[in-house]
Amino acid sequence: MELSVESLEISALTKAQLAEVLFEQIGLNKRESKDMIDAFFDLISQRLISGEEVKLSGFGNFQIRVKAPRPGRNPRTGELIPIEARRVITFHASQKLKDQVQSDFAATAET
């Protein structure tokens, strides 16, 4: 079963819109759809918080990276300000996703 989100003409995809797609195309009721989307994102968040990598086959990988402390500079005053160590989330798209984006771009550029 292939899900279609072409009818969503928006600049950002929201959790509510994802739940609406589940409701319309799979037949889950609205509450179940919302709960499923919330559970999906909660699981991803929990895994990242615990330091685990999240791999979504055919889409990409989310990873936690620890950035070391470093000196920074206030751009207005030039004052040195220490930047503390922190954890950041990185996303690396899968080759399949990159190929899909590129082929869609190439098809659009030809017309």
Domain ranges of the chain: 11-52, 54-111
Roughly what angle, to the nearest 10 degrees, separates helices 15-25 and 30-49?
130
Q: Which residues, including other chains, have CB under 8 Å from residue 21's CB and lie 6 or more apart? A: 3, 4, 5, 8
pLDDT at 111 over 70: no
Please, what sign has the CA dihedral across residues 15, 20, 22, 23?
A: positive
The verdict on pTM exceeding 0.75 is no
pLDDT digits (tens, 9 = 90+) for 21-37: 999 998 889 999 999 99
pLDDT at 3 over 70: no
pLDDT band at 70 (very low <50, low <70, confident <90, very high): very high
Fold of 54-111: HU Protein; Chain A (4.10.520)
Same fold, 11-52 and 54-111: yes
11-52 carries CATH number 3.40.50.970:
no
